Structure 1
């Protein structure tokens, strides 16, 4: 996974008023923490950060104000109405370090005609090297028939990546298409008699 370089400024003013001022300048307040270091309060450029966060588990290279660190987004707060970034938590990471992240499960192919694919998990939790986090895991269901099931422990994860969640968790399975239940012969007859009686009463 490539790194995205973003200019960082150390922040010395705190509180809601200071945060609003930062946002008016189209910037985003952030904190950087991890490895037992003191938490750093930062200001980051809003547009560049927004573009970077479009990539899941993006690695951000923070540079400026004596800072030259790699970080992984761990918490993103957005305005619930307008959607702009309000605050970001960044976890300090080092090369060679293992981190636990969620990666997407992408399905390709088509199941047998008439069957239905039921995907239970759209992401799985994995452990990977901080600077080599996979973009996701792909599952091919082409030609799979009713009864096929895939559990988390059976996923073909990229090299160097291990499952961090429950290996027995159901990722997806193929089920039969639901069929409408037809009334029993006796029930149909009774229903017909009831409708006839109702029609006579109406007359």
Structure 2
């Protein structure tokens, strides 16, 4: 994994007001920590940081004056509406050091027609050398049929990486896709539970009224014939 260089500035102001001022200048408040050292509070360029984090588990070389820190993202806070980074917690790592991170799973291919892919997890914990963290794990679902499954033992990881979950852990399985009738039935049940009444189409309503009217005429005719 290539290192992404990013220039940092020392942060001396703290609190919500200071954080807002930092963000208005297109910068991000961040903290570097790890290896028993005191936390290092910095500001990072917002655009550069956003671009760096387009790569999952990005490895950053943060330059602060004459000091350089090799870090990986630990916790990233984003604005829930606009998506920009509000704060970053970055873990200091050393070359050759083993770290455990969550690695995203990417599905490749198409399962058999009429089937549905049920994914149990979107990422898995992996132990890897700090400078060789996988950016993702690909799983081929090409041609998988109903009843097939993929467990943790079936994942293919880069050399030097190890899964930190049980080999029997279920990653995904293939089930039969629901029919249109099943979907309609489930929707009707959900609407009924929520107390939602469907509007009856005008044509159906008219047909229903006509049927009721015909029934009434039949009853009246029977009464006349009896008399």
- 1:202 deviation in Å? 5.2
- The CA distance in 2 between the partners of 1:14 and 1:115, in whole Å, is 53
- 1:80 deviation in Å? 2.4
- Higher alpha-carbon deviation: 170-179 or 131-140: 170-179
Counterpart for residue 26 of structure 1? 26
Counterpart for residue 124 of structure 1? 124
Counterpart for residue 78 of structure 1? 78
Counterpart for residue 205 of structure 2? none
- Higher alpha-carbon deviation: 74-83 or 22-31: 74-83
Q: Look up the SS of the partner of 1:23 in the other structure.
A: helix
- The CA distance in 1 between the partners of 2:83 and 2:216, in whole Å, is 59
Q: Look up the SS of the partner of 2:38 in the other structure.
A: coil
- 1:93 deviation in Å? 0.5
- The CA distance in 2 between the partners of 1:155 and 1:89, in whole Å, is 29
- Higher alpha-carbon deviation: 102-111 or 52-61: 102-111
Alignment of 1:69-108 (within 5 A): 69-108=69-108
- The CA distance in 2 between the partners of 1:15 and 1:90, in whole Å, is 19
Count of aligned pairs? 188
Q: What is the CA RMSD across the aligned residues, in angstroms? A: 1.9
Counterpart for residue 7 of structure 1? 7
Q: Structure 1 residues 31 and 202 mapped into 2: Cα distance closer, same or farther (>3 Å)?
A: farther
Counterpart for residue 173 of structure 1? 173
Q: Structure 1 residues 173 and 94 mapped into 2: Cα distance closer, same or farther (>3 Å)?
A: same
Q: Structure 1 residues 145 and 202 mapped into 2: Cα distance closer, same or farther (>3 Å)?
A: farther
The question of whether the paired residues in 2 share the 8 Å contact of 1:8 and 1:67 is answered with no
Counterpart for residue 57 of structure 2? 57
Alignment of 1:188-203 (within 5 A): 201=215, 203=217
- 1:95 deviation in Å? 0.7
Q: Deviations over 1:172-191 (max 9, x none)?
A: 1112233447xxxxxxxxxx
Q: Look up the SS of the partner of 2:22 in the other structure.
A: helix
- 1:201 deviation in Å? 4.8
Alignment gaps of 5+ in structure 2 = 183-207, 218-227
- The CA distance in 2 between the partners of 1:112 and 1:26, in whole Å, is 47
Q: Look up the SS of the partner of 2:145 in the other structure.
A: coil
- The CA distance in 2 between the partners of 1:100 and 1:142, in whole Å, is 30
Select the structure that is richer in helix: 2
Counterpart for residue 185 of structure 1? none
- 1:166 deviation in Å? 3.4
The two structures have a TM-score, normalised by structure 2, of 0.76
Q: Look up the SS of the partner of 1:60 in the other structure.
A: strand
